[in-house]
Amino acid sequence: MIEAAVDDPAWTAALPGAVALATRAAAAALADASGDVAILLTGDEAVRALNARFRGQDKATNVLSFPATAGSDSLGDIALAYGVCAAEARAQAKPLADHLQHLVVHGALHLLGLDHADEVGADAMEARERAILAGLSVPDPYAARAGATHV
């Protein structure tokens, strides 16, 4: 089961269908997996606090994934920061709906153990993201990138 909750009302003010989009994107990314996932649409400060506590980085980021421990019925949790995500969408001239779906897919793939720590892993993860997003009718988020670093 995938559950999404809104902690920062800016998400639904800017994107009334945010919960449905996040749930749909996670379902697409996790189609071959079993386990529960919780998605939190929250604000920059909450994500900053999570990032500081669990990753030692005292700054907000767009998306955080927290894989569940082995033996759990859960795959894990995903948290997204509204301000960071909205600013990135504006800077990249893309709809917030598309960016949200991309980041949920990205976060869900992390829950499945994919990573972008090296070039091989990044290429594989991006290929999976592109395929999943194409199925959601979301344009390739990497198409405009020429030699830039991975998400």
Q: Is residue 115 part of a domain?
A: yes
Residue 98's domain spans which residues? 2-135
Q: Is residue 50 part of a domain?
A: yes
Over the stretch 52-92, which tens digit does the pLDDT of each residue have? 999 999 999 999 999 998 888 899 999 999 999 999 999 99
**Whole-number Cα distances in Å, 132 to 19, 25, 29, 51, 55:** 18, 8, 6, 26, 27
Q: Is residue 81 part of a domain?
A: yes
Q: Is residue 149 part of a domain?
A: no
Q: Does 1 score more than 90 pLDDT?
A: yes
Q: Is residue 9 part of a domain?
A: yes
Q: How many CB atoms lie within 10 A of CB 34?
A: 7
Over the stretch 84-121, which tens digit does the pLDDT of each residue have? 999 999 999 999 999 999 999 999 999 998 888 878 87
Task: Determine the pLDDT at residue 147.
Answer: 43
| Residue 136 or residue 150, greater confidence | 136
Q: Is residue 91 part of a domain?
A: yes
Q: Is residue 143 part of a domain?
A: no
CA 53 to chain centre: 19
Domain total in the chain: 1
Q: Is residue 86 part of a domain?
A: yes
CATH code of residue 48: 3.40.390.30
Task: Determine the pLDDT at residue 145.
Answer: 55
pTM greater than the 0.95 cutoff: no
